[in-house]
Amino acid sequence: MTCILVAHLGDEVIIAADKRVTEINQDGVKIPCGDNEEKIVRTKVGVITGAGSLAMLDPVKSFVRDHGFKSPDDVLDLILRTRDSFSKFYAESPRLQADLAETSWMFTYPTVVDDQSVTRFAYYHHQHGADSLRRLDVGRVMCFPSGFSLEQAQELQGKLQDVVTASINSLSTDQLREVVVTYMLTLISEVSAISETVSSTCDVALVDGKEVMVAMSARTGDLALTFAPMAHQVAG
């Protein structure tokens, strides 16, 4: 299960993803089984991550990591085919519809608009479009939940949006980044206190075009985060 927070600040997209993996048994009981998952995966042109069922998430993330994509529609096609295969394989599972509803993917890539380089953030969530991608515009934020309620996610998203809206035009790039990252860590800490499926630590990625910097296992209260280049490691 997962909490992922995203803010598109124009020059930079910030993504914070918690690190907990949770198993769900046949009775629907959620069992935390580790806080070491690196959910943000480096690609040739940015990052890809997601929330929900690992059986659906991992094939898409691994393929995009290893093979890349020519257009966002390639990723959408892969997501839809993965969902279809999952639906057929788990057709008798009582959790099928919940897994499909709770699983979402998101990725970044660079493009050029009006001769200006920009960073795109695209995402797939069944509730936002059963067969389409959505794009996060500059100045907007998203919360992708899995394992806690949509109402809780909307509340987190609203709080983060208020911070970004109040700060994006008045602070320098460095100041804005610090404010947003600090608040993301606070929000994830708050979620972890009420949800057994979300860890208090998270990985934070700063994405600017093809450049990705990451701070691993960050938590609220850390005095200074260390961001380092995130390597693109293709499976051998």
Residue 104 reports pLDDT greater than 90:
yes
What pLDDT sits at residue 149? 76
Residue 27 reports pLDDT greater than 80:
no
Percentage of residues of the chain with pLDDT beyond 70: 93
CA gap 221, 208 in Å, rounded: 25
> Quick one: pLDDT band at residue 29, thresholds 50, 70, 90?
low
> Quick one: pLDDT band at residue 215, thresholds 50, 70, 90?
very high
The two tokens of residue 140 are 């907007």
Q: Is 94 exposed, middle or buried (0-12, 13-18, 19+ CB in 10 A)?
A: exposed
**Which of 12, 18, 108 shows the shortest CA–CA distance to 69?**
108
Residue 1 reports pLDDT greater than 80:
no
Task: Name the pTM for this structure.
Answer: 0.94
CATH-assigned architecture of domain 2-229: 4-Layer Sandwich (3.60)
List alpha helices for the chain, DSSP H. Answer: 54-67, 72-89, 96-102, 150-167, 173-194
What pLDDT sits at residue 13? 98
Any residues with CB less than 8 A from the CB of 96 and at least 6 apart, and which? 87, 90
> Quick one: pLDDT band at residue 62, thresholds 50, 70, 90?
very high
Tell me the pLDDT tens digit for each residue of 156-197. 999 999 999 999 999 999 999 999 999 999 999 999 998 888
Over residues 40-63, the mean pLDDT reads: 96
Over residues 196-221, the mean pLDDT reads: 94
What pLDDT sits at residue 67? 97
Tell me the pLDDT tens digit for each residue of 123-160. 999 888 889 999 999 999 999 987 677 788 899 999 99
DSSP 167-198: HTTTS-HHHHHHHHHHHHHHHHHHHHHH-TTS
